[in-house]
Amino acid sequence: MYKHIYDTLAKHWCTNGSIYFYSDPHFGDLDSYKYFRFPELFTADCDIAETIKALDKMQVDSINKVCTKNDCLVILGDVGNIDCVKKLKAGYKVLIMGNHDAGASNYKRKCYKQDIDCAPYQTKSSNDIWFEALKLFNGNEEAQYDYVCKEKALVRKRALEDLRKNLDFEELSRATYYDAAHSPFEFWEAFYDNKLFNEVYEGPLFISDRILLSHEPIEYPFALNIHGHDHSNRELTTSPHLNVCAEHIGYTPVCLSTLIKNGALKDISNIHRNCIEVARAKK
């Protein structure tokens, strides 16, 4: 548990792992790669689409190398192609939206599952039709499917056995007989997870009394401002800050615990103590 950040955040963000910061990946963004980061790669004869694809993969691989399923990854804005976010292994993902991010709902994680009985599909002549119907679960072609629910299958098996004991064979409907005779005990579980952000914030966020997260740099003297946005990485003299734009951190996420251990907060005064000292000085 991080003693330097609020408990409510720590419980969600870092139950078993560490918190990492990364900003402005601009996944899939030609202008970002060509003008800010790797202009030497975009020669007259280069394959632009393949070059962008390779650079996206480089960023994803670099992030995944240090930030894994037990960790929390906080991206401080300007995400770009969200398909790349789905490939990040971090077990918990947080977004502080940037000026290039539009619509918080577009970035939020959506996850649901549902049991689907095989019976309605078993009279179909082709498994292709079966899977075509399953593929459209909740209208989402990215849904996945697996065999599950042995307990429910057992309940159904017993119900069918009771039915056959109490009715003559001829009285069973064709559908019921077909169901009983051809693997009636299988269920599918349809599940969908877009693997996006567990939490999305549309503005700056204090995660402790001395740590402020934002996309744009903020001039605030009583907290370490961890931010992105500034690709020039200019010096800010009126407040402590850390620019975690991808190109300024070597495309490697920055670990919060490492920052704290290295003394990132040691020269940041508590806002209450500072106000008291200022008041005393005026007397």
Enumerate the domain spans of the chain.
Answer: 7-109+196-274, 111-193
Which one, of 104, 71, 116, 86, lies nearest residue 25 by Cα?
86
pLDDT digits (tens, 9 = 90+) for 235-271: 776 779 999 999 999 999 999 999 999 998 888 877 7
Higher pLDDT, 276 or 216: 216
Nearest to 18 by CA among 57, 66, 61: 66
CATH 3.60.21.10 fits 7-109+196-274, yes or no: yes
DSSP 59: H
* Residue 215, pLDDT above cutoff 60: yes
Residues 21-51: tens digit of each pLDDT? 999 999 999 999 998 899 999 999 999 999 9
pTM (predicted TM-score): 0.76
Question: Average pLDDT of 200-226?
Answer: 93
- pLDDT at residue 222 greater than cutoff 90: no
Residue 189 class from Cβ within 10 Å (0-12 exposed, 13-18 middle, 19+ buried)? middle
The phi, psi pair for 227, rounded to 5°, reads: -150, 180
Binning pLDDT at 50, 70 and 90, where does residue 160 land?
Answer: low
- pLDDT tens for residues 95-136? 999 999 999 999 999 877 666 665 555 544 444 554 555 554
At 219 the pLDDT is 87
> Identity (one letter) of the amino acid at 215?
H
Rounded distance between C-alpha atoms, residue 59 and residue 153, angstroms: 45
